[in-house]
Homo-oligomer: A and B are copies of this chain.
Amino acid sequence: MATGGVPIREEGSGGSRRPRAGVVTMRHDHLLTAKQLSRADIEAVLARAREFADDPAAHADRHPGALLALCFFEPSTRTKMSFETAAKRLGGDVIDMGAVEDSSVKKGESLADTVRVVEGYADAIALRHPSQGAARMASEFVDVPLVNAGDGAGHHPSQTLLDLHTIAENAGLDDLTIGVMGDLKYGRTVHSLAHALTNFDVRQHFISPESLRLPRSVRYDLHEAGANVREHEELEAVLPELDVLYVTRIQRERFPDEEEYEKVAGQYRISAETLDAAKDDVAVMHPLPRIDEIDPEIDDLPNATYFDQAHNGVPVRMALLDLLLEDGGGDE
């Protein structure tokens, strides 16, 4: 049960929101947003990810010859590498569109044309694009499964799934108290995770400066989904309750001047000392890359969960690809 903080109770126009998908498997669908996943979907992915995580090298005959096209219209080290690793650990391979400056896009080709060409080469597509909505638009033009690997300020569902998997492995997804701290205004990671957590029995605390609190639309969305959510400006109040502390980066470029940034960012950094007031086994997460939000002295504590979290990208993306390719691979 959440204590203190400001409970979210918002009115406002909901707008038209997409209905939750009720499907249990994701057979031959695109994965565009975590919102399309039901609790059963999430549990199916996580269960399979757990199998794969137990021995990531043991499934090399699962999808032999399957090709995942990596269409990354903006850079991403860990998402791209972990999709690549996932495809290869399943016995498949990737084909890489390469950097945009080297591609037909530079010649003025539309995204729709690009993905329609690529679908002729590959069995699935992972698409990252700077424009919100790009993945949904692209998915309307292709028949092979397409995974949204980030569309600007939009969605990044495989990140949400790996966050959920990490939480599940470290604290469980029921009767959970999580604190999410940092830049809550611009962080799509945070918005998607918060929504996905409404499928479970979770108390969510959001800790940020006033200027970076959750956007009104997200608060409304969570409220509508019946989330148990509170907002705070300071970590102290809620820290002792947390099973998970999810830290995100406060970006320098959001602030008018350096001094203002330093003042704010300094309040949301954590050190080993910070954790003195927390539960012994609080799991500290971070989507990485971090700059200085988490003191490296925490790296060696058992609480440091962020590298495991990054590593979980592989089994979770293996599970995703496995479910999406299931009919195509058909080798079980």
Q: Which residues does A use to contact B, with CB under 8 Å? A: 57, 60, 64-65, 67, 69, 75-78, 80-82, 84-85, 88-89, 91, 93, 95-99, 101-109, 112-114, 116-118, 120-123, 288-291, 296, 307-308, 310-311, 313-314
Sampled A-B contacts (14; CB under 8 Å): A65-B88, A69-B81, A75-B98, A76-B104, A81-B118, A84-B96, A85-B122, A93-B93, A99-B99, A109-B288, A113-B290, A120-B307, A120-B308, A121-B314
One of B65, B107, B314 near A60 (C-beta < 8 A): B65
Q: Closest Cβ of chain B: how far from A282's Cβ, in Å?
A: 20
Report whether A75 and B95 are in contact in the complex, using a CB–CB cutoff of 8 Å: no
Identical chains in the assembly: 3
CB–CB B95/A77 < 8 A:
no
Known: A75-B98, A101-B75, A289-B107. A117 touches B307 (CB 8 A): yes
In contact, B307 and A116 (Cβ under 8 angstroms): yes
Complex CA gap A57/B104 in Å reads: 26
Contact of A81 among B82, B97, B311 (CB under 8 A): B97
Q: Give Cα A114 to B120, complex, Å.
A: 32
Q: Are B290 and A109 in contact (CB under 8 A)?
A: yes
A65: chain B residues at CB < 8 Å are 57, 60, 88-89, 91
Whether B109 pairs with A289 at a CB distance below 8 angstroms is yes
Chain B contacts of A77 at CB under 8 A? Answer: 97-98, 102-105, 114, 117
In the bound complex, how far is the Cα of B93 from the Cα of A101, in angstroms? Answer: 24
Residues on B with C-beta less than 8 A from A314 are: 120-121
Chain B proximity of A256: nearest CB distance (Å): 20
The docked-state distance in angstroms from the alpha carbon of A296 to that of B110 is 11
Q: Whole-angstrom distance from the CB of A182 to the nearest CB of chain B?
A: 15
Q: Is the CB of B122 within 8 A of A104?
A: no
Chain B residue contacts of A96, Cβ below 8 A: 81, 84
